[in-house]
Chain A
């Protein structure tokens, strides 16, 4: 039972570099989302998707892009990394978009931008 899989687990980038954080789920969930976790801030929503081909912005979308070409995958792209993007990133999925829907989280990607 893989659930939500994120890769890589750790990454160090130089300022200005770009990269893609991968997220895949095998539960056939429609709803997927990306969060960043910073100390004392809880988790903040970056982008989300309610199905293949449909994405929208969350609270803190600047500097990030997403796409959803398949139900399973929801990659997060950092266009030009900045030190302010140093954070732990979590991908989550749920069966549907709904107030009662339980979110399943990946193990996280710890990103450091130097």
Chain B
């Protein structure tokens, strides 16, 4: 079975400072992992995904995430926050179980990122 834990429900940073959003996962097999972003009153947009290739994954808007199997973590980082990064971020694991649940997405509860000027 798969599950995702986002360790912080809210993160606040000042513009220009680094961003760290933490995510731990549980999966029976090597997982596929995603980060999605949701701006207010909008749908979800894919930031990046890990699919068992390079462990450091680069995404859009300067975000990246590192897959650490030993720590079962997939933390999202950005060197310098921008006001436009303020949004809710979801860490997602995709089921690799064979059969009807293959590809089913399991969402973390979300981290609300606030960026102060």
Contacts and interface: CB of A to CB of B under 8 A. Distances in A.
Interface of A: 4, 31, 33, 35, 40-45, 48, 50, 56, 58, 90, 92, 94, 96-103, 105-108
A48 B104 contact: yes
B43 A106 contact: yes
B interface, by DSSP: helix, strand, loop or mixed?
Answer: loop
A56 B99 CA distance: 12
A98 B109 contact: no
A99 B50 CA distance: 10
Contacts of B90: 42-43
A99 B44 contact: no
A48 B103 CA distance: 11
B51 interface: yes
A107 B43 CA distance: 4
Contact of B103 (A90, A97, A108): A97
Contacts of A96: 103
